[in-house]
Amino acid sequence: MKIPNEITSLNPDSLNLDAEARAIFLLLLNTIEQLVQSNQQLQEQNQALKDEINHLKGEKGKPKIKPNLPRKENDVPKEKKQKKWKKRSKKQRIKIDRTEIRRADPNILPPDAEHKGYRTVIVQNIKFETDNVEFKLERYYSPSQNKVYEAELPEDIDGEFGPDLKAFVVHQYYACRVPEKKIWKALTDAGIIISDGQISNILTKEKKEEFTQEKDDIFEAGMKSTNYFHTDDTGARHKGINHYVHVICSVLFSVFFITRKKNRDTIRMILGLNDDEKIEKIMISDDAKQFWEIAIYHALCWIHEIRHYRKLNPILEYYRIKLRNFLTELWKFYDLLNNYRELPNEKQKEFLANRFDELFSTKTSYQELDERIALTKKKKDRLLAVLEHPEIPLHNNPAEIALRELVIKKKISYGTKSEDGKIAWENMMTLLDSCRKQGVSFLEYIKDIFSGRYSMPRLADVILQKASMKATVY
């Protein structure tokens, strides 16, 4: 259904219409807009049904090829501030494992050549080779006690595979998203004799209790370290059944939970709340219903709210202009809120509350936009929670970013097949993202746990220490 350009480009403001005629004219334009969009949706649904019929017949459906489209005219992106970037010297950060002195060829040196020291050239390289150790354990036998005495293995050895190999397997699977079969291929090519089942056991059963304790400690420390937290969820598969991954996080930590449902009772269970009990910390989320009535103070993500407006895609030019103009004012208001966070004061607080009422009382004559504006206005208290708590961010980006790795991992590995696997995903993704936020090497951290040495500071302690330092600064 194609609308003539004469209609799509109509501007009612340029026509000489009385009030009654203008109202009818705008009603007709809204009707046209709704009919065209409804028609597009029906065409898409019809094509989807045709494709399904073809699939059932053993044929192929219409290929889904995304067109190369420019940015929508009505879309007003948030202007990003350019970050000042300065190149750092990497030589100071390179670990030197050995030094090799290269001598100049004396045959090419003239008689008067004087030694002037050395010029340093650093070449980075890596070795991927076996480090198999055959331990010969000394043994003694006591006839009087009828007992054999034997030397002990090193403390970090538990089983037939060392901690470095176990850490490598876990790091490849979680941090590098390498499937189990490919990990097996890399190890066997290097000369390691290992089976698929042994790799699976390393990923799901080795140090299960220790890693679970690490996750629990991070969750406890993380919630103690902040007066607000972010939360979000996404779909997951466990034993072939739809599940959900929940994340509770802040800038200091991330903790993941895989559950069968995503309702309020599930979230209360994760947070350790009783029926109808509310957590006293500020919760930042999108406006999904499962997050209602969970926290005494509930702040909504502005980016999620603005996304509703950016999804609007009017056909008529008149409405595109209306939407574009409103989005411009919306982003200006967002900037004002951010400025308030940096320098809060009572006068600006009152101004922003009044500006919110003014902005979200706007009438544009574009029905879809006006309905969306009215919905936003009803969320005033939760969207303006920052006025009472300027320390909280305006968005829920930490939760979305934390879940992104799970979404990618799910596409590669599909899902978990056992309870041990589910627990392993929760534990390792918690450690992976918390290590990222603390600037800790995930590989070295899990190696430290597999070895049993625990020589590195625990993440839970680092989180509490960072929170304490931040509180001292402020």
Percent above pLDDT 90 for the chain: 72
Compute φ and ψ for 243, nearest 5 degrees.
Answer: -130, -170
Confidence tier at 382 by pLDDT (50, 70, 90): very high
Cβ within 8 Å of residue 196, ≥6 positions away: 180, 181, 184
pLDDT of residue 356: 98
Burial class (CB in 10 A: 0-12, 13-18, 19+), 61: middle
172 vs 436: CA distance, rounded Å: 16
52 vs 59: CA distance, rounded Å: 9
Encode 254-293: b = buried (16+ Cβ within 10 Å), e = exposed.
Answer: bbbbbbeebebebbbebbebeeeebbebbbbbbbeebbee
Residue 162 lies in a domain: no
End-to-end CA distance of the chain: 60
Among 392, 467, 446, 415, which residue's Cα sits nearest to residue 179? 415
Number of domains in the chain: 1
pLDDT of residue 71: 56
Span 268-296, average pLDDT: 95
Confidence tier at 17 by pLDDT (50, 70, 90): confident
Q: What is the pLDDT of residues 322-342, one digit of tens each?
A: 999 999 999 999 999 999 999
Residue 254 lies in a domain: yes
112 vs 230: CA distance, rounded Å: 71
**Domain membership of residue 442 as a residue range:** 209-468
Whether 67 shows a pLDDT value over 90: the answer reads no
pLDDT of residue 195: 96
Residue 310 lies in a domain: yes
pLDDT of residue 309: 96
Compute φ and ψ for 238, nearest 5 degrees.
Answer: -140, 120
Q: How far is CA 119 from the centre of its chain?
A: 44
Residue 338 lies in a domain: yes
Whether 430 shows a pLDDT value over 70: the answer reads yes
Burial class (CB in 10 A: 0-12, 13-18, 19+), 430: buried
Would you put residue 365 in left (φ > 0), alpha (ψ -120 to 50) or beta? left
Residue 9 lies in a domain: no
Q: What is the chain's mean pLDDT, rounded?
A: 90
Token couple for 215: 């996750």
448 vs 163: CA distance, rounded Å: 8
382 vs 241: CA distance, rounded Å: 34
Confidence tier at 78 by pLDDT (50, 70, 90): low
Residue 386 lies in a domain: yes
450 vs 162: CA distance, rounded Å: 8
pLDDT of residue 222: 96
pLDDT of residue 207: 95
32 vs 35: CA distance, rounded Å: 5
Whether 32 shows a pLDDT value over 60: the answer reads yes
Residue 132 lies in a domain: no
Whether 472 shows a pLDDT value over 80: the answer reads no
Token couple for 273: 């709340």
Confidence tier at 92 by pLDDT (50, 70, 90): confident
Q: What is the pLDDT of residues 177-195, one digit of tens each?
A: 999 999 999 999 999 999 9
Confidence tier at 77 by pLDDT (50, 70, 90): low
Whether 474 shows a pLDDT value over 50: the answer reads no
Residue 61 lies in a domain: no
Burial class (CB in 10 A: 0-12, 13-18, 19+), 227: middle
